[in-house]
Structure 1
C-alpha cells in the first residue's frame, strides 16, 4: 500500500518502511542523508524502534519540490 503525501497525518511518527515508500531511496542513502542533515533526524521511540516525525517528512518533501522548481 502506497502512502500518498496528501494522506499523511501531520502529527505522529513514521517508521522507515513508510518513509521509503514516499521518498524512494535505499536504506543506506536514507541513513547517510540523516547523518549529513539532508534528511530529517530520527527519534528513538524505544530500544528497537526508530521513527521520524511526519511533519519533518512532509517538510522534507516540500523542500525537494521547491528545489526542483528552481
Structure 2
C-alpha cells in the first residue's frame, strides 16, 4: 500500500503507527507498523527521529524527518 504524505507539516503518533478502524472511525494505516512503546524506545535509542513539542500537550514529528526515516530503512 502506498501512503501519500504532504510535503511539509507534522504527523502525530497515530498517523505514524496507525489506528484500527471501528464502526465510527475508518482508522489510519501505519507508516511504521510498530507499537507506541516501541516507537518511543526507538526515539530514546536514536533509531527514530525525535519529535518536537508544538504545545504543552502536543508532540509531533516533522513529515520530512519521518519520510527520511522511511527512505533510510527501505534501502
Same fold? TM cut 0.5: yes
Task: Determine which structure has the larger helix proportion and give its number.
Answer: 1
State the Cα RMSD in Å.
1.5
1:17-28 alignment runs, 5 A limit: 17-20=14-17, 21-28=30-37
In structure 2, runs of 5+ residues without a counterpart are: 18-29
Bigger Rg, structure 1 or 2 = 2
> TM-score w.r.t. structure 2 length?
0.79
Runs of at least 4 residues off by over 3 Å: none
> TM-score w.r.t. structure 1 length?
0.84
Number of aligned residue pairs: give it. Answer: 63
Which residue number in structure 2 is paired with residue 54 of structure 1?
Answer: 63
